[in-house]
Structure 1
Amino acid sequence: MPWSDHAIWWHVYPLGFLGAERAALPPGEPPRHRLPMLTGWLDHLVGLGCNGLALGPVFAAETHGYDTVDHFRIDPRLGTEDDLTELIRSAADRGVRVLLDGVFNHVGRSFGPFADVVRSGSASPYANWFVPEGDDFRTFEGHGHLVALNHADPAVADHVVAVLGHWLERGVSGWRLDAAYAVPRPFWRTVTDRVRARHPEAWFCGEVIHGDYAAYVTEGGLDSVTQYELWKAVWSSLNDTNPHELAWTLGRHNALLDTFVPQTFVGNHDVTRIASRLHEPRHLAHALTVLFTVGGIPSVYAGDERAWRGVKEEREGGDDAVRPAFPADPGGLGSDHLWVEQLHQSLVGLRRRNPWLVRARTQVHTLDDTVLTYVLTDPGSDAAVAVGLNFGTAPATGAVPAAPWTPAAGDGSVDARSGTVSLPGLGWCVATVP
């Protein structure tokens, strides 16, 4: 297995997590050395069972980090390059890999090459890096402060290759590629092929919300993309008491696994937190069970392991509630919702004991108005995992094939002799073979 098949990420949005200022520091201000605080959270990450730290934007930016102004410089609100490389070293000492978030579809207006184009016009050596549009330049999805790069210019590809290689050489293991869906797939292929020539183990995951997920792998050269279809189906099917929606999406998920291993999640820095999204709090266990049993490379958004709440709103500052500051160290979490953290540990532990789940296909056995049961099997052994989910409030039953099932988690049960799955109202269970 490649190392990425064993990855379970703990996802942090550093500017929020570390309580950074909302906008770039004034020129001449000394850097704020906040990144070292994350070192104190590495043992928490490992304690969950994760082995990867997926960082949101850390590069110099104007405000929220996705308006990059210098891909080669750490945002002074977070610290310095030495702070980041020391964090990478501390993570490596614990067997933890670090993933960076690269924004290569667009830049902030203070980005050096763009500022030069504004000053010098067509005389700028960067004139072809951007596309004129009316009295301005093409922007990203109507956001005037985010100027889109011209991916048809080979110099833009050269720049991205240089950035990716620069930080891979400093110890990161891979990249989340922001807004990958907005970038032409041939551009990604050119870039990833060139970078892999020097960094063959680098892992590239594209943010793809909609579209042909598999094409970003086969045509774009990415390793994985974000599985938004599954994310939506998990909370939507639970809220609507509609197992059919989730079952249909699991079939789609199986088809994706024929091409690549999707990056799976129930929360991230761009969406309402799962604890706020679900109408019924007891459905949180169902959502986590799906995340940690189906194929994929899972991630946990920091705070979700304590059922933190936060609603994303479509307004200025609308992400603030899902990107809050954290305590200085894990001790500041207290005991609130500790049971959710323990549930994460239990389900991640189950996945660690069955690493083959990363590429396992889901076989649905019971599907009715309230119950979904499914089984995943290891093609290389007799190992199997059975899952039963009761979306409704009344006790219910389902079925899986008879096998020597051993209880693993949940409040339901699987009868080994008959394969009957018994579930209390809003119940769930996981059983394993051997």
Structure 2
Amino acid sequence: AWAEEAVFYHIYPLGLLDAPLRNDHKSEPVERLLKLIDPQEGWLAHLQELGVTAVYFGPLFESTTHGYDTVDYGVVDRRLGTNDTLRRVVREFKRHHIRVVFDGVFNHVGEKFFAMQDILEKRESSQYKTWIDGLKFGPHGKIDYNCWGGFKFLPKLNLKEPAVAKHLLDKVRYWIEHFELDGLRLDAADCVDLAFLRTLREHCYALKRSFWLMGEIIHGDYNRWANAYTLHSVTNYEVYKGLWSSCNDKNMFELGHSMQRQFQTEAGKYYGLYLYNFADNHDVNRVISTLKNRVHVFPLHILLFTIPGIPSIYYGSEFGVQGKKGVGSPPGYDDAPLRPALTMAECVGGKPPRFHPDLVPVIQKVAKIRSESAALKQGSYHTVHIASEVFAFARVHESEMVVVAINISGFEKTIPLQLSKVAGLTSIPMGPQSKLVDVLNNGDSFGLLDAEEEVTIYPTWGRILKLTL
């Protein structure tokens, strides 16, 4: 239940902390992770001021390059520090009431993973030959196996092999017990065996009942992975795309359609699920680089914190950090521009065009509004009004109702709310004395009967209207 009310901050440690692109697997550990809790660096204080209650860390364990080519699930990547380093960091985050989620990269490993190395050395004689999916030995020393994305340096684990499952589950137990972990994000979850996910869910529940599992899913029916038996949540890529695309195309019907399809009362396809919402992440272009009109970053983030689901901010994007895949990156590291090294000093002091400093206070405000509203965290969803550049919807929890109205145009827009005609809102007591108070804009107030006829929304901005009886 904690994740349903959380505001996440997504950190890609190898990038943020300026780790070398490659691990030489022999250097002494460098405790870069400690920068995250160093008061002089300012990251922890910033997260608290932003309203963050949970952090999702990208890959932390020993790997050769980007972290998703795991070498050892039990040892922190030497480019980031040691196991004791990570334990100190997690404990400090939790002391500041911020929960911690790790990346669980269980679909595949790196070539230097011990089982793969044993197979390459001993071939058919290796005791680990059942650990790699689709493994085949050919003549003249050739070897073939399934891998992720066609990349042979990412051999796919055979999760149906009991010894593999035990190895991974033992590491998860260690992470929970040693690091006091609160949850896992499952990388490439669409490729992970569903039976393994069920076993993982049972295993984690037995160790820690509040443990949360979220999977990276890009396409398909999210119910296949997020349900009572496998994962609690998945990445909502449909809404990720709708957030920026609706702005770029001046077509709020796209996002409105997704909201209705996913969450409109009990008919919504994902009604009752709390999906993981985001504007960008370590795999896609930074949102400020995706938007045609950068001022749309404001209504977009109002939406991110008020639509159904769990909002997440990718490190640096609250400052408008830019980045496009493959633009200015070293050969073979197309994702590097999405995962830059940053310091809080340069972010706070940053100016356009590299940074967008006005976004931070907006996120702080909408995060606070969300934290104080059960309707925005847990409420049902009801479409109120959609036009090409205007979108309004209501969130309802018990007797609390909040109406969100967004305007992406460069001019004021006036719309009728007509809440009395919206299906699903008839149970809310709305009398002639009722008012809608705008908690986003200094308490602007509208009589409910007047709002039936018209509410004006500022350009490229929005209103968050709370019903007062």
Q: Same fold by TM (over 0.5)?
A: yes
2:81 and 2:122 map into 1 onto residues whose CA distance is 32
Other-structure match for 2:9: 10
1:45 and 1:321 map into 2 onto residues whose CA distance is 23
Deviations 1:18-64 (A, max 9, x none): 0000001342x211110110113111111100111211100000100
Other-structure match for 2:426: none
Answer whether contact 2:159 2:196 (CA < 8 A) is retained.
yes
1:386 and 1:405 map into 2 onto residues whose CA distance is 8
Secondary structure of 2:97's partner? coil
| Closer, same or farther: CA 204–351 of 1 in aligned 2, 3 Å | same
2:389 and 2:70 map into 1 onto residues whose CA distance is 46
1:98 and 1:65 map into 2 onto residues whose CA distance is 18
1:163 and 1:330 map into 2 onto residues whose CA distance is 36
- The amino acid of 1:147's aligned partner reads P
Deviations 1:57-82 (A, max 9, x none): 00000100010110000000000000
Deviation at 1:330, TM superposition (A): 4.8
Size of the aligned set, in residue pairs, is: 429
1:427 and 1:299 map into 2 onto residues whose CA distance is 20
Other-structure match for 1:180: 189
2:336 and 2:269 map into 1 onto residues whose CA distance is 33
Secondary structure of 1:70's partner? strand
Counterpart check, 1:288 vs 2:320: no
Other-structure match for 1:31: 29
Q: Which runs of 5+ in 2 are unaligned?
A: 421-433
Other-structure match for 2:425: none
Answer whether contact 1:377 1:385 (CA < 8 A) is retained.
yes
Secondary structure of 1:377's partner? strand
| Closer, same or farther: CA 182–152 of 1 in aligned 2, 3 Å | same
Q: Which runs of 5+ in 1 are unaligned?
A: none
Answer whether contact 2:129 2:135 (CA < 8 A) is retained.
no
Other-structure match for 2:99: 97
Please identify, of 264-273 and 310-319, the stretch whose mean Cα deviation from structure 2 is larger: 310-319
1:304 and 1:100 map into 2 onto residues whose CA distance is 20
Please identify, of 120-129 and 215-224, the stretch whose mean Cα deviation from structure 2 is larger: 215-224
Mapping for residues 195-210 of structure 1, pairs under 5 Å: 195-210=204-219
Counterpart check, 1:333 vs 2:354: no
- The amino acid of 1:423's aligned partner reads I
| Closer, same or farther: CA 74–256 of 1 in aligned 2, 3 Å | farther
TM-score of the superposed pair, with normalisation by structure 1: 0.94
Deviations 1:258-279 (A, max 9, x none): 2421011111111111111111
| Closer, same or farther: CA 256–300 of 1 in aligned 2, 3 Å | farther
Please identify, of 368-377 and 416-425, the stretch whose mean Cα deviation from structure 2 is larger: 416-425
Other-structure match for 2:203: 194
Counterpart check, 1:142 vs 2:150: yes
- The amino acid of 1:263's aligned partner reads Y
Answer whether contact 2:319 2:347 (CA < 8 A) is retained.
no
Secondary structure of 2:226's partner? helix
2:461 and 2:320 map into 1 onto residues whose CA distance is 19
Deviation at 1:411, TM superposition (A): 10
Secondary structure of 1:238's partner? helix
Other-structure match for 1:168: 176
1:13 and 1:280 map into 2 onto residues whose CA distance is 27
Secondary structure of 1:169's partner? helix
| Closer, same or farther: CA 262–294 of 1 in aligned 2, 3 Å | same
1:323 and 1:12 map into 2 onto residues whose CA distance is 9
2:411 and 2:245 map into 1 onto residues whose CA distance is 20
| Closer, same or farther: CA 428–411 of 1 in aligned 2, 3 Å | farther
Other-structure match for 1:19: 18
Counterpart check, 1:132 vs 2:135: yes
Counterpart check, 1:87 vs 2:60: no
Other-structure match for 1:300: 313
| Closer, same or farther: CA 256–307 of 1 in aligned 2, 3 Å | farther
Other-structure match for 1:386: 403
- The amino acid of 2:59's aligned partner reads P
Deviation at 1:412, TM superposition (A): 12
Please identify, of 331-340 and 64-73, the stretch whose mean Cα deviation from structure 2 is larger: 331-340
Other-structure match for 2:467: 433
- The amino acid of 1:429's aligned partner reads R
Could you tell me which of 114, 117, 131 is aligned with 2:116? 114
1:359 and 1:160 map into 2 onto residues whose CA distance is 33
Deviation at 1:385, TM superposition (A): 1.5
Deviation at 1:398, TM superposition (A): 1.6
Deviation at 1:362, TM superposition (A): 2.3
Q: How many percent of aligned residue pairs carry the same amino acid?
A: 32
Secondary structure of 2:152's partner? strand
Other-structure match for 2:391: 372
Deviation at 1:346, TM superposition (A): 0.4
TM-score of the superposed pair, with normalisation by structure 2: 0.87
Answer whether contact 1:17 1:325 (CA < 8 A) is retained.
yes
Other-structure match for 2:76: 74
| Closer, same or farther: CA 316–335 of 1 in aligned 2, 3 Å | closer
Answer whether contact 2:25 2:64 (CA < 8 A) is retained.
no
Answer whether contact 2:392 2:406 (CA < 8 A) is retained.
yes
Secondary structure of 1:110's partner? coil
Answer whether contact 1:97 1:173 (CA < 8 A) is retained.
yes
Deviations 1:113-161 (A, max 9, x none): 1111111223222111112257311111111211011122122211221
Other-structure match for 2:379: 360
CA RMSD of aligned residues (A): 2.0
- The amino acid of 2:168's aligned partner reads V
| Closer, same or farther: CA 43–303 of 1 in aligned 2, 3 Å | same
2:252 and 2:55 map into 1 onto residues whose CA distance is 32
